Structure 1
């Protein structure tokens, strides 16, 4: 196979059909870019969730009589609860927080509301056990074991709050994938149309090549390469867009949250892994569509 001839045929085809090629590149860039954005959101959610899971605690709030009358967890009910918690195999650590400590902790966590805290009675803060589990994801059994136990007012697990927070990120991911799917359909139609137009404009050349013994694969390969090259150009634009988004948005506007260890940073490694998957999807999308179009169209 003469690669010089093949290369010339691909360039000629792209130049002849430049408007369709540009439209396909832009559509592919948008579709693949949204797909890559969804991958980065998945990475962000996964890494950020790991940060929060390491901090997740289950809080067992005690009843009013224990909160008011037992500041050191010395009563039989309180000590019994603590012993029951500590002997569980799924518990990593446990500490008792009395009413005064709970109030002081609230003041420390919310310094911006320090003036308002003066008007809040300490009686509003029940004593509690703060428990860290070895596997925070499996908190349901622990929670059920202590709900309704004598001396227990309620059980609060922070993982439920975290799940609600990350449900927002999951919604953003799903939206990105949905729009990417719609754009991918548009890209497929453009690829099919581009290949048909290219094959039609060069039908005479292809016919002559077939007459002199060229194989079907040899005559169709330039069209496949045109589609793949256009798709990879779109992928390159999409990757550049992700890098810009990482610098300006993910690690730019969100820098304060990253420094406060509230969310995980998006690294260039994450972008690189996403780029590999984006390139694979782009090649697959263009190659399969172009091949199927040629099989259906050129045969006629």
Structure 2
């Protein structure tokens, strides 16, 4: 009987304050969408780091006038290094074939590059990519080297951009969460004020604080739960609508992790709304 009363009062409260309830749901949905997007982006970046860092190579590009003796000496120096896990030689033809494969979607660009335009190189995989500087110092006396490129440094620049995007999404989600909390508190204050006479009668007949406050808390939690579901739908829609080429540098997020966001957002939405309502009633509204 008490549970039925609490649920009925919560539904009536949502109906009486429909405008503020809708505003609260929308604000909660937007903030939880940003939160979910930042969490998914965090997972993608971490997955990409594991994927790409495991394939990092040091590219040693060779001069066009390098002699066979110089190339052999350089290969032997690489083999002697205890830092090297793997090494392969890529001549001009191999480099051109890999270039055509990498840029097969841009035939105009491929046509502007001739087979002999790309330099030969040694592709070296280090046991510990962070010791790149030590490895390069071991080759300082070798002839025929045009330049040495550390893929790890290039990837770190890309990941810094992704990390900045992730932090921006978290900041926006935090600001929206603050707005949602303030809106929840304001809505509960209005709802409690509109029922002040009923609350006073209930207190006179001996109703406990929890029994009086429960409908307001359930009302806020229901609105937060609806906002969480709406936020999850927006998250799914965003994932489907984002062009694949925008995220092709990142590995796709597994479907189970995407669906994992539904209970996470529901728990956050209902929990934050319920706690805000209880604190508002406890410290600001006498019911």
TM-score (norm 2): 0.86
Q: Partners of 1:37 and 1:108 in 2: how far apart?
A: 32
Q: Relative to 1, partners in 2 of residues 1:114 and 1:21: Cα closer, same or farther, differing over 3 Å? A: closer
Cα distance, 1:168 vs. partner? 2.6
Q: Partners of 1:203 and 1:40 in 2: how far apart?
A: 44
Q: Relative to 1, partners in 2 of residues 1:242 and 1:83: Cα closer, same or farther, differing over 3 Å? A: same
CA contact (8 A) 1:107 1:117 kept: no
Cα distance, 1:277 vs. partner? 2.4
Cα distance, 1:215 vs. partner? 0.8
Alignment of 1:215-226 (within 5 A): 215-226=208-219
Question: Tell me, which stretches of 5 or more residues in structure 1 are unaligned?
Answer: none
Q: Secondary structure at the match of 2:140?
A: coil
Aligned partner of 1:285 in structure 2 is 272
Q: Relative to 1, partners in 2 of residues 1:107 and 1:220: Cα closer, same or farther, differing over 3 Å? A: closer
Aligned partner of 2:281 in structure 1 is 294
Aligned partner of 1:43 in structure 2 is 43
CA contact (8 A) 1:51 1:263 kept: no
Q: Partners of 1:78 and 1:37 in 2: how far apart?
A: 47
Q: Secondary structure at the match of 1:3?
A: helix
Q: 67, 70, 78: which one pairs with 2:68?
A: 70
Q: 132, 137, 161: which one pairs with 1:142?
A: 132
Aligned residue pairs, count: 281
Q: Relative to 1, partners in 2 of residues 1:97 and 1:290: Cα closer, same or farther, differing over 3 Å? A: same
Cα distance, 1:94 vs. partner? 0.7
Q: 198, 201, 219: which one pairs with 2:194?
A: 201
Aligned partner of 1:133 in structure 2 is 126
Cα distance, 1:165 vs. partner? 2.0
Q: Partners of 2:204 and 2:60 in 1: how far apart?
A: 83
Q: Secondary structure at the match of 1:192?
A: helix
